[in-house]
Structure 1
């Protein structure tokens, strides 16, 4: 009997694991599987409705990257404005760290720093178009333009010393239309910019990523928002959402407008509230999602999976009861 060499056995095992994971992902993403096996749909139906927005409120959306504001909260943004609230959006980064994205948009196999910076400017334009689709005027949008994938560095080791982003090779804000052009990539500068936005908007409600969101930029922004709002004695004005909520979430992938957006596994124990969307609000949300062509060309099924019958919002950043209530996110 012929024995397989060790390298060949390793390749076969790797192939088998990849196929098994692909099959599992495909099975999980079947709408029928979601309906039959996922009891969280019933849980969402039983959630309390979120506190409605009011006329005269000032609502500030803090978005780590261009598209997060739309994925999590496009319906809420529409509802706030319909109620007579004033909505502003602040993007922390230009989303310029995704090399595969730059390879496609810039049509190059090896995107260099200039290609990555061009991607950043492209995504800034997409962000402004998506905001316009949702009815947020340009004068109430703020592009801060700090490094995609670098917010934790700014929050920790590069609070005062400028950080050089590995993909753009930039160490200062370069994107067109930034709030503070040429601001150094430091946590100090980011906090100063975000404080300027807070001073200008004077928000009654701040929509921010939850600490449990898996993406490093997202949960770092959560920490920064909590810190700044606590200094203002306004931490109770924060409301929390999740975009990166766990393996394969949200399921099923693709456009399923009639299905609920279920509770994200990584933030399963937050005190979630439900924001129901009308068909018209879902349609406008889908239009805003598709304004992000750089993203929908690469991961359309993930992007469109957020266009659901509802959105989710938590009034608290941590579980309010239970033995692990104060445990940090894994």
Structure 2
């Protein structure tokens, strides 16, 4: 069936844009943060081990931009040390309706509008990866449904899931590893296992359980299950992007400030990844590659460009 786009009433789009600007202003409202005590606590964290030449580092990113927010400086350092860096994106980030409303100029984006957003975000991810020096042949897009990973890991493990946002029940991305793969947990497991067997990573960077976003902590479970099956559990390392209300603070670009542990995951055994001015510049450039996202969440995203990043060798305190 061919999808057609209904013309909107003349008042609709200005009203939508006003609402968007109001929400963006609320999201971007600067709030003081990072006390001297917190800064000293970050400085006291042990440094993460240095990368080595030839090391194979794989980052599993739930959505385009997560790899940059959590780990752009880390990935840049790994590449500079001679490590081989790979990034695999699980979804295309096609579930952000507010973003699509702005970019596609439609009040109620669905179907084609969100699939077009997914294709656009894939190209932004490629642009960010170029900034980080990740070669195209080490970039993989799987194309599973944004907002649907929990269903794929549960009731839709064997039965195809239909995304209420895109209307798709199979991978539609032209650049996906397996175009046409059904939206099932079985297909996602098979795709991810194919990546792990091909890359044979020495380090696998995934979200921690404590990351608030359902796609993030569901990916944790999936990756841990596959890593256990393949004998790779000791190679898992953890990061957080959605770490609690308003984190990180303050919003906006503050390169002189440290990134403090997220409230939802303070108890994890965090390691500090110090970032040089050059690392910060690379990270800021990669953030800016996500134009669809920075239009709405720019101050949130740029708040991750700090003096350090955070990495945990375990996803539970005391492990």
Residue 233 of structure 1 corresponds to which residue in structure 2?
231
Distance 1:287 1:269 in 2: 31
* Distance in 2, Cα, partners of 1:97 & 1:165: 9
Residue by residue, what CA displacement relative to the aligned partner does 1:44-95 show, whole Å, maximum 9, x if unpaired? 1100000111111000000000000000000010010111100000000000
Q: Which residue of 2 aligns with 1:281?
A: 279
Q: Which has the higher contact order (CA 8 A, sep 6+)?
A: 2
1:121 aligns with 2:123: no
Partner of 2:17: none
Show the counterpart of 1:245: 243
Q: Unaligned regions of 5+ residues in structure 1, if any?
A: 1-21, 322-330
Residue 84 of structure 1 aligns with which residue? 82
Partners of 1:273 and 1:190 lie apart in 2 by 30
Partners of 1:255 and 1:49 in 2: CA distance = 23
2:155 equivalent among 128, 133, 157: 157
TM-score of the pair, normalised by structure 1: 0.87
Instruction: Write out aligned runs for 1:130-279 (5 A).
Output: 130-279=128-277
* Match in the other structure for 2:35: 35
TM-score by length of 2: 0.90
The Cα shift of 1:34 comes to 2.9
1: CA distance between counterparts of 2:187 and 2:29? 44
How large is the RMSD of aligned CA atoms in angstroms? Answer: 1.4
- The 2-side partners of 1:176 and 1:303 are apart by 27
Shift, 1:26, TM fit:
5.0
Structure 2 residue matching 1:298: 3-state secondary structure? helix
Once the two structures are TM-superposed, the CA of residue 112 in structure 1 deviates from its matched residue by 2.4
What secondary structure does 1:87 align onto? strand
Give a deviation string over 1:147-184, Cα, whole Å, max 9, x none.
00000100011000000000101000001200000000
Distance 2:226 2:248 in 1: 30
Corresponding pairs, count: 294
Which structure is larger by alpha-carbon Rg, 1 or 2? Answer: 1
1:246-265 Cα offsets, whole Å, 9 max, x none, are: 01000001000110000101
